Each structure stands twice: as structure tokens, then as C-alpha cells.
């Protein structure tokens, strides 16, 4: 394959660029095939032509026939047939197979062509107490009984630890209404087994614990807490080595709860044990929720949290028009509030000319997908206790979008957020405080930072809001407007803060 990739001529690349409006296969896949390929194949998303005569079912059948005509092997054809998506086909192709598909399209065989575009299947990554007071969740709980009761929030992430004590009191993961079932999409398929309630990586459990659940540690030492400690002398630890994790036991009774403690959580596992996944896994999960809600006719899942994504590449598609963003938009139009993390690309390490060492430089237009979707509530990060003083977190991705739209939409706490963690995910090297051990009985919580932690504060706030203001169920655009109109201005530029800091009390009182 390496020889084939190197044989790609400059004339061929130039021709692809000149005809960029008409290409079928993303030109980047031809030019940098080896960068995307594993074992000689690259994972792709074949987007079906929605204008095909006979509709999507006819387009799907014709697309499978085209793949067969391109001499795609039987294993990959079977993979395409089993795609859990109505709008796309997921499969892995060689460079020769990509070229054959491209030639079929150029020869207009058939015409119209049933496949609209063939995209790279992007790798996903996670955007990894007192913050509840910062967004006034505690006041809403006391004043409006805003527990999130009877509201379902889906979490597309690395799974949720179904055994964690944080989710026991309110049975957040059990007895889901309307026959809803947790689902695992992380293995290029769909599984309803217990695997969606296992979280080897730990990110999804942490995110879910911010949204819902509660645990009251009555006795001293009942909870093992992993904290992020800043290291002053980080010179020898690399540019990113500024914190280390310390394990300690709680020294007094402590209540740890989510924003909407009684909300039900639907685990949609799209990341594996290493925190890796693909856009196709996420698209399958988004379409699964769309189908659960009967295409918008009955809202069973009210909100979806997306604390993951990938950096947006403007040369590939218009901002907000990637297959993932299209799936998000479709889901919002069906009645689901979609909350997306803005991303953690707000600054990069650069070494200015003449400088002795690299330093952090702010980066505009750094919103990640799926946060580029216009209909999503895209969330940036701020300090958990002093947002007015510290403003927008240095890592939080900034707007505007590549096509000039204002993002992020608003801010929520995302720095050193304490939430639950699977024991298996913390049994790694940590500096343990004297007398502290992580055992089989340990109930673990840990601090994490990122827009991944900011987004679930908003998803929890949406659940709490809908449990009080039921008439807004199934009206996600109006829910977004309510929250944006009632934000607290932190006095930062719109490209950094959006509408400002989320204010739950003001949102509930405004309608």
C-alpha cells in the first residue's frame, strides 16, 4: 500500500482540488492514506444521497450494489449491510477500493449516484460540591424541587459504572421508563448487554455523576477522593505535566451529588477501555436515540450529553455540516436537547522566535465537532468557584466557528470538578496520602478538568429545568433560548464566553 500511496501523482491531486465540489471520496484520504490506514485499510463513512429516487432505502440498496460492483470483499460488504445507521454506511476500504468507487462516480455509473460523500471516520476523544452553588443548582433544588425526576438524560461516552454507589440511592441506571435499554456501540455494532454499564476508562462515569446521582458519606474515611495537585516545578515533567493525582480519604461527612440527582441516565457506550472511538460509533448512538423517540413522535429521551468529539477540519466540510453534526441537528429537530462540550483546544504550546521556551497561545476558531452544530448547546468552561474573577478557562475552545457563527453558546464550571469514578479506572499510579489505600471496598471520586466536565452541568440543569417546566419537553430550541437569555455576563468577549455563565434559578423563573 505504501508504494501505491507514493505513486499518487501531483496531477491527480490538483485535479481533485479543482473538482472539490464534485468529489465523492474525501481527497485527504487519497493524499494521506497511510496516515489514516490500519493494516492497509481506512475506516470510512459513506453518506447516502438523500435526494436519490425512491428515498433512503433505495439509496442504501443501490449503494450496496455499487460497493459490490467495486469488488469490495464480502466481509466489508457484510459490515456495510450491518451498519446501525439509516443515513450512512460504515466500512473499511483499501486505497484501490477507494479509487474504484471514485471512478464509478466519475463515470456516473449509476446516475444519480446513491452515495453522496465518503468521509474519513474520525477518531473521537473525551474532552476531559461548590460548582452546584455557582450555577444555583442547590437553590433550585430547595426552591422548586428541581430533582430531575421523570427526565431521561442519555450519556454518549465510555460507559457508566453501574455498580458505583453514586447511582444507587435514586436508581439512576435502573428501571428506565418506556423500555429504554443501555446500549454499547464501541465495538462497531450494537449490544444491549451489561457492557454499557462497565466503564474501564472512567470518563463516562465522571460525566454521568455530574448530571445525576447522589452519595452521602456519613463516616470519616468512607470515600476515597483523588485530587489534582498543582506542581510548582514542572520544568522536568514536560509542558503538560503541571498536576499529579493524590488519593485521600474524606475527613468529615460529605454529600456528593449531581445537578439533577433523580434524573434517569441512559448509557450509550461509544468509547472503549482506552477512551478511543470513532465518529461512526457516535452517529449510530445518535440515530439510536432518534429511533427510541419514534422519530420525534414520543419523547422518551429528553436530553443527550456529548463530552467528546474531534477537532474540526474546515477543508473537509462546512462548519456544522459534518456527518456527526448533521445527526445532531436531526436529533434536536426530533425534540431532544443536545448538549456538547466545546473542546479543549483553546490554547496551544508555541515557542515564539527568540523565546527560550514554549508558552501557551490562545487559539480562536477552535470549537470541536459536534459543538459546531448550530442546534446543540455548546458549552465552554469556567472556574467552579470564582467565575467572575477567573473568567474562561485557558483550555476552553473559542469561537467563532469556521463559518462565522457565534460559539460557544454559554459557560459552566469545568475546572477541578469532583465526581464519581470507577475503582478500576483509578487503580493506577497515584501518590497516596498517609493512611490511604484504594481497596475493593473503596468508593472513589476524583477531580477532572475540561469542557467534558462543563457540559454535564448544563445537561443536568436541562433535566432539572424540564422536571419543573414540563411544557418545554420536546422543545429543545426554546430550552436553549431560555438558558442563553438568562446567563450571567462575565464581562468577557462573546467568542470566549458566549452568552455567559449558566444560571439555573433565573432560567426556571423566567418562564
On whether both 443 and 353 belong to a single domain, the answer is yes
**pLDDT score for 9:** 45
Out of 120, 144, 175, a domain closes at 120
On whether both 134 and 59 belong to a single domain, the answer is no
Report whether the peptide linkage leading into residue 155 is cis, meaning its omega lies within 30 degrees of zero: no
Query: 383: number of CA atoms within 13 Å, CB side?
Result: 8
The pTM is what? 0.86
Which of the given ranges, 70-74, 350-354, 507-511, has the highest pLDDT on average?
507-511
Is residue 264 one of the residues assigned to a domain?
yes
On whether both 201 and 54 belong to a single domain, the answer is no
Residue length, the chain? 511
Catalytic residue among 102, 121, 157, 369: 157
Is residue 12 one of the residues assigned to a domain?
no
**pLDDT score for 244:** 61
On whether both 91 and 155 belong to a single domain, the answer is no
Is residue 408 one of the residues assigned to a domain?
yes
On whether both 149 and 97 belong to a single domain, the answer is no
CATH code where residue 451 lies? 3.40.50.200
On whether both 250 and 344 belong to a single domain, the answer is yes
Give the SS3 label for residue 75: helix
The verdict on whether 157 is a catalytic residue reads yes
For residue 247, pLDDT beyond 80: no
Is residue 476 one of the residues assigned to a domain?
yes
Catalytic residue among 158, 280, 452, 467: 452
Rounded distance, CA 38 to CA 153, Å?
A: 35
| 244-248, 289-293, 355-359: least confident range | 244-248
Q: How many domains does the chain have?
A: 2
On whether both 116 and 149 belong to a single domain, the answer is no
On whether both 421 and 392 belong to a single domain, the answer is yes
Out of 120, 138, 165, a domain closes at 120
Q: Cα dist. 327→332, 370, 375 in Å?
A: 9, 9, 11
Is residue 9 one of the residues assigned to a domain?
no
Q: 64 is in which domain, residue-wise? A: 21-120
| pLDDT tens readout for residues 122-170 | 888 776 556 899 999 999 989 999 999 999 999 999 999 999 999 999 9
147 in Cβ contact with 282 (< 8 Å): no
On whether both 333 and 357 belong to a single domain, the answer is yes
Angle formed by the axes of helices 279-292 and 323-333, to 10°? 10
Is residue 281 one of the residues assigned to a domain?
yes
On whether both 90 and 208 belong to a single domain, the answer is no
On whether both 251 and 217 belong to a single domain, the answer is yes
On whether both 225 and 304 belong to a single domain, the answer is yes
Which of the four pLDDT bands, split at 50, 70 and 90, describes residue 2? Answer: very low
192: which 3 cell numbers?
Answer: 444491549
| pLDDT tens readout for residues 453-480 | 999 999 999 999 999 999 999 999 999 9
**pLDDT score for 237:** 31
In sequence order, the 6+-apart residues with CB closer than 8 A to the CB of 155 are: 204, 207, 208, 211, 265, 266, 267, 268, 304, 305, 456, 459
The verdict on whether 32 is a catalytic residue reads no
Out of 74, 91, 120, a domain closes at 120
Rounded distance, CA 29 to CA 200, Å?
A: 32
Is residue 86 one of the residues assigned to a domain?
yes
Catalytic residue among 203, 302, 383, 457: 203
16: which 3 cell numbers?
Answer: 481533485
Is residue 125 one of the residues assigned to a domain?
no
Amino acid at each position: 500500500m505504501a508504494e501505491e500511496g507514493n505513486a499518487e501523482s501531483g496531477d491527480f491531486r490538483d485535479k481533485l482540488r479543482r473538482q472539490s465540489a464534485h468529489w465523492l471520496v474525501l481527497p485527504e484520504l487519497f493524499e494521506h492514506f497511510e496516515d489514516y490506514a490500519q493494516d492497509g485499510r481506512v475506516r470510512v463513512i459513506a453518506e447516502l444521497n438523500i435526494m436519490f429516487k425512491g428515498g433512503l432505502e433505495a439509496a442504501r440498496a443501490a449503494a450496496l450494489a455499487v460497493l459490490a460492483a467495486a469488488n469490495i470483499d464480502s466481509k466489508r460488504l457484510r459490515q456495510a449491510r450491518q451498519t446501525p445507521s439509516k443515513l450512512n454506511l460504515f466500512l473499511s476500504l483499501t486505497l484501490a477500493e477507494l479509487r474504484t468507487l471514485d471512478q464509478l462516480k466519475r463515470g456516473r455509473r449509476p446516475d444519480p449516484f446513491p452515495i453522496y460523500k465518503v468521509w474519513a471516520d474520525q477518531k473521537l476523544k473525551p474532552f476531559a460540591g461548590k460548582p452546584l452553588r455557582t450555577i444555583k443548582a442547590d437553590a433550585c433544588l430547595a426552591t422548586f424541587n428541581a430533582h430531575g425526576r421523570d427526565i431521561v438524560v442519555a450519556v454518549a461516552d465510555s460507559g457508566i459504572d453501574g455498580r458505583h454507589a453514586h447511582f444507587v440511592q435514586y436508581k439512576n441506571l435502573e428501571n428506565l421508563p418506556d423500555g429504554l435499554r443501555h446500549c454499547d456501540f464501541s465495538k462497531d455494532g450494537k449490544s444491549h448487554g451489561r457492557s454499557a454499564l462497565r466503564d474501564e476508562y472512567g470518563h463516562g462515569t465522571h460525566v454521568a455523576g455530574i448530571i445525576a446521582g447522589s452519595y452521602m458519606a456519613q463516616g470519616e474515611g468512607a470515600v476515597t477522593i483523588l485530587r489534582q495537585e498543582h506542581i510548582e516545578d514542572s520544568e522536568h515533567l514536560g509542558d503538560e505535566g503541571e498536576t499529579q493525582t493524590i488519593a485521600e480519604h474524606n475527613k468529615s461527612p460529605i454529600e456528593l451529588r449531581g445537578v439533577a440527582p433523580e434524573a434517569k441516565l441512559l448509557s450509550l457506550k461509544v468509547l472503549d477501555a482506552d477512551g478511543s472511538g470513532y465518529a461512526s460509533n457516535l452517529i449510530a448512538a445518535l440515530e439510536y436515540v432518534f429511533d427510541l423517540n419514534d422519530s420525534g413522535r414520543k419523547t422518551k429521551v429528553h436530553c443527550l450529553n456529548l463530552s467528546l468529539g474531534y477537532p474540526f477540519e474546515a477543508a473537509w466540510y462546512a462548519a456544522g455540516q459534518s456527518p456527526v453534526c448533521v445527526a445532531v441537528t436531526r436529533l434536536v429537530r426530533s425534540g431532544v436537547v443536545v448538549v456538547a462540550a466545546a473542546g479543549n483546544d483553546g490554547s496551544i504550546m508555541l515557542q515564539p522566535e527568540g523565546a527560550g521556551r514554549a508558552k501557551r497561545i490562545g487559539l480562536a476558531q477552535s470549537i470541536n465537532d459536534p459543538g459546531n452544530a448550530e442546534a446543540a448547546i455548546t458549552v465552554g468552561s469556567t472556574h467552579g468557584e470564582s467565575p467572575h474573577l477567573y473568567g474562561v478557562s485557558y483550555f476552553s475552545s473559542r469561537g467563532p466557528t469556521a463559518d462565522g457563527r457565534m460559539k460557544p453558546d454559554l459557560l459552566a464550571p469545568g475546572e477541578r470538578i469532583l465526581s464519581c469514578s470507577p475503582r478500576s479506572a483509578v487503580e493506577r499510579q497515584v501518590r497516596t496520602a498517609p493512611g490511604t489505600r484504594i481497596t475493593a471496598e473503596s468508593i472513589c471520586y476524583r477531580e477532572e478538568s475540561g469542557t467534558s466536565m462543563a457540559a454535564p452541568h448544563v445537561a443536568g440543569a436541562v433535566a432539572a429545568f424540564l422536571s419543573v417546566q414540563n411544557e418545554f419537553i420536546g422543545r429543545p430550541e426554546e430550552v436553549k433560548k431560555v438558558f442563553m437569555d438568562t446567563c450571567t455576563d462575565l464581562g468577557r468577549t462573546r467568542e470566549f464566553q458566549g452568552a455567559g455563565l449558566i444560571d439555573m434559578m433565573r432560567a426556571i423563573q423566567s418562564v
